[in-house]
Chains A and B, each alone.
Chain A
Amino acid sequence: MKRLFDTGNAAITEGAVMAGCRLFSGYPITPATEIAENMSRRMPQVGGYYIQAEDETASFHICIGGALGGLKAMTATSGPGYVLFSDPYGWAIGSEVPVVVVNSQRVGPVSGITGAPGQGEFYLSRYPTHGGNFETIVLAPAGVQEAFSMTVEAFYLAERFRTPVTLLADQIVTDGLESFDLPENEEELRAMGLRVIPGKAHAGPCFYPATSEIDIPPVRLGRNTGGACSDWTPTEEGYDTEEVEAQVKHAYRLTRKVLDHRDLIDRYEGTCLEDDPDVVLVSYGSPSRVMASAVKKARSLGLKVGGIRLKSLWPFQDRLFARRAVYLTVELNLDGQLVREVQRAAGGSAVHFIGRCGELPTAAELVEAVIGLSEGCFPAPKLWERWAW
């Protein structure tokens, strides 16, 4: 095991290399540029290819083409580029092409501030393309070590589910420097709970079985199997069709293959949940690290508080919010995205929201909010009071 002191971007790069990624295509954008730079150095070293694309749309499509030819592929961007992924996302989801997509979220909307973190693509990562009738798999790292491990896992899930998998990070995670462990052999990798599976080719003849089965290798082109894939509604043989029945089967497959195998996807970390706390903080990514400090501090003050850190965002883990409590989501945005989903999942429980735009909240602010909520009133003395849910 190697111990390195480096950025989340470096960890993502090494995770991809280890997972077998041999094609990276990207387009420079802060704060994800460093991933492209690292990949331009690392890919040729390991016999892989770095292609700097003409735009984000191209970068994802180049990855799709590489994956169709049998290469494990990854692209990385930030919000303004992520929105341009909409077109290829649909293609990759519809044709069931495994590609790993990294989004280092920065504050928005639009270009916003290049070097400030944000969490504005929570819903966009659920619905990254048009048309509906699909599910997405999204993982959210909160630190450098996790940036490494989740990248490896993203490739694993992409291959098993034959779908694009998104790593929804943020600028603090990808730019942040931390020490992390880098396994040097397969045993060490396994000891970390990580698996790498080889990319396989589907021999046909059925391409889109209307089942929720996974582990069906994806369509590969160039092997003379009669493989076919397109953006149109496919029949089971890959023909394009205008038949609604075929679309229903396709939609069934794209949604159920994900929803019926949640055990492979769902990940979260609970803090102090054992004694059914009155107040539960909820977050993902960088804010969850502040949240952890706040929970610890509030506990030391005798408050019955706990924390839920979502490590996988989509499909949303509704079951985590079945317990009656007062929930408080902590997010890097002011419009409140995660809070809406928690509110939906939590049923009758009260759900509140603390949002910050472009910077993290402080642990003291969170503790203050927890004190207020424990006493039955949400104090909201600052900007976010207007967004109290």
Chain B
Amino acid sequence: MDRWARRWLRERKIPSTACVGCGLGQVHKKVLMAVEQLKLGVGDVVWGTGIGCAGRQTFNTWKGDNFAGTHGRVYAIATGLRTALPDDKKIILTVGDGDAFGIGLSHLLHCARRNLGVAVIVADNFGYQSTGGQYGFTTPLGCVTDSSPYGTREQGWLQNDIDILTLLKDAGATFLARHSSFEGQNAVDSVVKAIDNRGFSLVHFIYPCVTHFGAISLGSRDKEAVYRWFERLFQDGGDPRFRSGVYHDARGSRPEFAASLREWTERVSKENSTTTGKRFD
């Protein structure tokens, strides 16, 4: 393990248990690079994850404080945690596409609506891969997966005129970006902005899963072939939904949820202080 990784990660969790050739490590690394660029210390960040490949491979890798929620619930846990922690403590959530855009979508939208101060990093592998390769909410139309043997036919969050990032923007998110996992500094810059934002940020990373999506939907487990397919998605002049970069930047435009709740609570408690509120401990 190199010195750089040792600074941020628990030795016990290196190397990651992700499959050889998986793009998840690239996503994870970009988050760490952003943390470093922001000159944050281990103690400045609480790292939350969910379930699935993205959750399991990033839980407790971070040297500092960690938590992992059941599928889709990490946003609600983060809402309580954000309320309890001081403003300068960063909360980063690394989750999968099923977690964020499926089972946890309601919680996620409500975090955006409240402008909760968390940076959500969605590591999207186009389906449920840790359970063997079923289609998800961003799986391209027509893809053969374990649960769509004749090809997916359901409208997803990234097809036709629908883009999940537009939905999140309308819900009130204050920073949104999309990248592929194999991009460089421009992707790190987006994560820097996301973590730095005092409000709800989400960076949507699309990364190659060689084991399931590659093998079943693309017909190849060969890393190079799979990566080339993903690269083509993000090519200039291609599908506009797979444009790299910042999609929405309204940082600072709305008050952060927990900070404003704290301010308001302080005001109300001053104006309405009662003796019966006393706590005896």
Contacts and interface: CB of A to CB of B under 8 A. Distances in A.
B277 A42 contact: yes
Contacts of A46: 269, 274, 277, 279
Interface in A27-53: 42-49, 51, 53
A45 B64 contact: no
B114 to A, nearest CB: 9
Interface string A41-81: 01111111101011101100111111111110100000000
Interface in B51-72: 51, 56, 59-60, 63-70
Contacts of B68: 229-232, 240
A333 interface: no
A68 B265 contact: no
Given A18-B278, A54-B106, A232-B59, A65 B273 contact: no
B73 to A, nearest CB: 5
A126 B124 CA distance: 38
Contact of A57 (B60, B67, B76, B266): B76
A65 B65 contact: no
A235 to B, nearest CB: 9
A186 interface: yes
Contact of A49 (B63, B265, B281): B265
Interface string B70-97: 1001001111111111100100000000
A299 interface: no
Nearest to A17: B277
A387 interface: no
B83 A69 contact: yes
Interface range, A side: 35 or more
Given A58-B110, A63-B80, A227 B65 contact: yes
Nearest to A41: B272
Contacts of A182: 276
A188 B46 CA distance: 40
B80 A65 contact: yes
A193 interface: no
Given A17-B277, A20-B279, A90-B70, A45 B272 contact: yes
Interface in A1-38: 2, 14, 17-20, 23, 25
A108 B160 CA distance: 44
Nearest to B258: A49
A238 interface: yes
B280 interface: yes
Given A69-B80, A222-B46, A228 B276 contact: no
A273 interface: no
B107 A54 contact: yes
A181 interface: no
Contacts of A49: 83, 261-262, 265
A67 B277 contact: no
A47 B270 CA distance: 9
A57 B81 contact: no
B125 to A, nearest CB: 20
Interface in A169-212: 182-186, 189, 196-198
A225 interface: yes
A46 B106 CA distance: 30
A54 B110 contact: yes
Contact of B76 (A58, A222, A230, A239): A58
A45 B278 CA distance: 10
A222 B81 contact: yes
B142 to A, nearest CB: 34
Contacts of B141: none
Interface in B240-281: 261-262, 264-266, 268-269, 272-281
A224 B64 contact: yes
A387 to B, nearest CB: 37
Nearest to A73: B80
Contacts of A222: 46, 65, 81, 84-86, 89
B73 A61 contact: yes
A230 B269 contact: no
B280 A189 contact: yes
Contacts of A53: 76
Given A46-B279, A62-B80, A224-B65, A231 B70 contact: yes
A65 B79 contact: yes
A19 B262 CA distance: 20
Contacts of A68: 67, 77, 80-81, 84
Contacts of B280: 18, 183, 185-186, 189, 196
Contacts of A51: 79-80, 83, 261
A222 B82 CA distance: 10
B277 A224 contact: no
B76 A65 contact: yes
Contacts of B273: 45
Contacts of B266: 47
B80 A44 contact: no
A223 B43 CA distance: 7
Contact of A23 (B84, B85, B277): B84
Interface string A72-95: 010000000000000110110000
A228 B85 contact: no
A65 B117 CA distance: 14
A372 interface: no
A48 to B, nearest CB: 7
A227 B77 CA distance: 15
B233 interface: no
A221 interface: yes
Interface string B20-59: 0000000000000000000000110010010100001001
Top 8 closest A-B pairs, CB basis? A69-B84, A65-B80, A224-B43, A46-B277, A61-B76, A230-B68, A66-B80, A44-B268
Interface of B: 12-13, 42-43, 46, 49, 51, 56, 59-60, 63-70, 73, 76-86, 89, 106-107, 110, 261-262, 264-266, 268-269, 272-281
8 contacts: A45-B272, A54-B107, A61-B80, A64-B77, A65-B77, A68-B77, A87-B73, A185-B280
Given A17-B276, A42-B277, A62-B83, 5 more contacts: A46-B274, A51-B80, A61-B69, A65-B84, A224-B43
